[in-house]
Amino acid sequence: MNTIINEQSAQAFTIKKGDILTVIDPLGQQVSDMVVFNSLDHNEKLSSGKSLDFEASILLTTGNYLWSNRSNKMMKIIEDTNGRNDFLLAPCSQETFTIMYNHKGEHPSCLNNLYQNLKPYGITTDQIPTAFNIFMNVQFNTEGKITVCPPTSKAGDYIKFRAEMDLLICLTACSAEDSNAGSFKPIHYNIEHHH
């Protein structure tokens, strides 16, 4: 039974070490920004800089681990039917739309949706790290130029993570036009308990 994250929103929840989290793109071409904290100590959290270093890769998929700022394994990717995710770019924020999209006025954003859902756990906006951007298709060349492209994920594609410690997780259904080919869609997820 999948849980639904509605378009341009987010949900936070905790899972235990050994649990399996599956994140599903039900309609295709949608992105989910995922941030992860040690549920017993929120000062330990996902680190893109440590993960890219330990995995020796910018692109993480099946078999790779996500690491914390304290150099501990937080999650293992055990299956990934699409295979393209991003770990370079910070969650879209109000300023993303003002500065990069030249948008006037308020715009829903992953950063604000992460914050609103993590607030009950005592987490501030400033504590939110660079997310693991599931299904996000960020292309780059060897000169470093970055281009955000529509996701390659098709309806039903999913990624499965095994928790390597007790975790607080927040997942979004992304709010940025460039990340999902201009159409806002839901994200589904599912937790299998193994304890």
Segment 1-30, which members bind a second copy (CB under 8 A)?
A: none
DSSP single-letter state for residue 46:
B
Tokens (6 digits) for 41: 């100590």
Cβ within 8 Å of residue 171, ≥6 positions away? 5, 10, 11, 12, 23, 32, 33, 34, 134, 187, 189
Contact with a second copy (CB under 8 A) among 25, 34, 36, 50: 50
Range in contact with a second copy (rule: CB under 8 A) among 4-12, 18-26, 120-128, 151-159: 120-128
Residue 62 found at the interface with a second copy (CB under 8 A): no
Contact with a second copy (CB under 8 A) among 27, 88, 181, 191: 88
Residue 58 found at the interface with a second copy (CB under 8 A): yes
Residue 191 found at the interface with a second copy (CB under 8 A): no
- Alpha carbon 64 to its chain's center: 15
178, 52 Cβ separation under 8 angstroms: no
Residue 96 found at the interface with a second copy (CB under 8 A): yes
Start-to-end CA distance of the chain, whole Å, equals 19
- C-alpha–C-alpha distance, residues 172 and 134, integer Å: 10
Residue 40 found at the interface with a second copy (CB under 8 A): no
- C-alpha–C-alpha distance, residues 100 and 39, integer Å: 34
Residue 121 or 140 with smaller CB distance to a second copy:
140
Residue 144 found at the interface with a second copy (CB under 8 A): yes
DSSP single-letter state for residue 40:
T
Q: Which residues bind a second copy (CB under 8 A)?
A: 43-44, 47-50, 52-54, 56-59, 69-71, 88-91, 93-96, 99-100, 124, 126, 128-131, 139-147
